[in-house]
Structure 1
């Protein structure tokens, strides 16, 4: 097992031992902006859907089919809560979006 895999495994086990009902994680580095979109929509889905796996699948489908318009509109609601450094990173990522391309493909394309 790689050190990243081991870290993910240990983190998951610690969360479950702390009595978390569920854990969402990744075994590789992920873009923080793409992750923010994913979790923002995930929690919106959980407001109407009780099953976490179904909510996550809906989010994945939303990310695949959305165009640049949706994340740009969504990002406007975050501006007041982001620190200046994060606002800059978000605006830079949004500038790379093209209206006809899937959001996840464009945001995930420039990971770091």
Structure 2
């Protein structure tokens, strides 16, 4: 599932520069994430960068936009062909795939 920003957002802007896909932008009242650009950082980190920096923990998985890891990798490949990411999620190194370790916790 793509990530979204809840109404608890304090508009600090910490998340925007951390997004490797430039999916985060300033909305009318709070920052917003474009679900067509969000890869949940698959292909970049083993955690979601926006979640890691959000001081109020308002970057959450969007239950209304569920996507499997392969779909997220496919999107990352399309957005960043220069990275030569593997075609299959199973071939993505664990440090670039937050789904490789289901017990992974939010970095402090």
TM-score, normalised by the number of residues in structure 2: 0.31
Q: Which has the larger radius of gyration?
A: 1
Q: Would you tell me which structure has more helix in proportion to its own residues?
A: 1
Q: Would you tell me which structure has more strand in proportion to its own residues?
A: 2
Name the structure, 1 or 2, with higher relative contact order (CA <8 Å, separation 6+): 2
